[in-house]
Amino acid sequence: MIEIRDLSVSFGGVRALDGLSARLDDPIVGVIGPNGAGKTTLLNAFSGFVPVASGSLTAFGTDLLAMAPHRRARWGLRRSFQTEEMVDDLTVADNVRVMLDALTMKPREKTAAVERALAFVGLADQGRLLCAGMDLYRRRQVEIAKIVAGSPKVVLLDEPAAGLQPNEAAALRDILVAIPETCGARVVLIDHDVDLIAAICRSTLVLDFGRRLAFGPTGEVLRDPKVKAAYLGLKEAA
């Protein structure tokens, strides 16, 4: 269970998050909103990359804001970035392995966990390849493997399917859906693809200008006239 309470983040005069509150209970929760609504800022607040002006963030009873960014990751906070961050001159396995380096596990357990994570995303026998020259879909696969390796508690995904071909996006979706039951983590998924959100998120949070425009079961939220006006309407107009 993830609890966002009265969270505010500002950059100079811009209020990127403005008193946001929400209690995320479902295995996969969607976050949508127009460009600049504050979605990525919300994830950055979870990660500890932006200064939080006020409010609190707790997950499974742990106060996330009290921990340094790398300690949050060791605790079990995992995330992807809007632009993928694979390291070209590391092998696929090493890109995943780095997530486990700081955890207290035996080396053999770590190797097994890396293999399991790679198998989960469909890269079972490709651990020894370098990431250099890989296409975006494979990089996104490696990214998901990084996220599920070890024992994540909270997984935050920032537009993981952006830039993929429709068939690749569909394949990635099947992987994403399986995250909660595979590793027991709660997933927060940002995406502009409303069909994807509708298909895999039981509840959805809609942001606009850093505020909560709507929050609840995905179907209801997407039918909400406010949401249609602010977000979906904009899309149709465009």
Partner 1 sequence: MSALEARQQSAAGTDGTGTLRLIRLAGLVATAALVFGIVPEVLGSLWLKVLISAAIYGLAASGVALLYARLGLVSLMQVALVGVGGWVTLKMWHATGLPFEIDMLAGGLAAAIVGALLGLPALRMRGLYFALVTLMAAAAFQIFITATQFPNGGEGWLGVSRSAPAFMPRPLLATTDAAMFRYVVAVAVLCFLAIEACRRSRAGRAWALIRKSEASAMAAGVSVAFYKLAAFALAGFVAGVAGGLLAATIGVLDARSFPAADSVMLFALTLVGGAYAFLGQAITGLLFRAVPALLNDVGVDGDIAFLIFGAALLHALITAPTGIAGQLFGLFGRLIRLGGRR
Ligand X SMILES: Nc1ncnc2c1ncn2[C@@H]1O[C@H](COP(=O)(O)OP(=O)(O)OP(=O)(O)O)[C@@H](O)[C@H]1O
Determine if residue 52 is left, alpha or beta; phi over 0 gives left, psi from -120 to 50 gives alpha, anything else beta.
beta
Residue 148 has φ and ψ, to the nearest 5°, of: -90, -10
Site string for Mg ion, 1-40 (x = CB under 5 A): ---------------------------------------x
Neighbours of 67 (CB within 10 A): 15
Q: Is 74 in the site for partner 1 (CB under 8 A)?
A: yes
DSSP 161-194: TTT--HHHHHHHHHHHHTHHHHH--EEEEE-S-H
Return the structure tokens found at 113.
Answer: 């966990």
Asked if 144 contacts 160 with a C-beta cutoff of 8 angstroms, the reply is yes
How far apart are alpha carbons 53 and 60 in whole angstroms?
22
Site string for ligand X, 62-91 (x = CB under 6 A): --------------------x---------
Of the pair 40, 95, the CB lying nearest Mg ion is at 40
Of the pair 50, 227, the CB lying nearest partner 1 is at 50
1 binds, among ligand X, Mg ion, partner 1, none (CB under 5 to 8 A by kind): none
Q: Is 16 in the site for ligand X (CB under 6 A)?
A: yes
Binding residues with partner 1: total (CB under 8 A) = 29
E strands along 44-153, which residues? 54-59, 62-63, 77-79
Site residues (CB under 6 A) for ligand X, limited to 193-232? none
Site residues (CB under 8 A) for partner 1, limited to 137-176? 146
Q: Which residues bind partner 1 (CB under 8 A)?
A: 47-49, 69-71, 73-74, 78-79, 81, 85, 87, 89-91, 94, 97-99, 101-103, 128-130, 132-133, 146
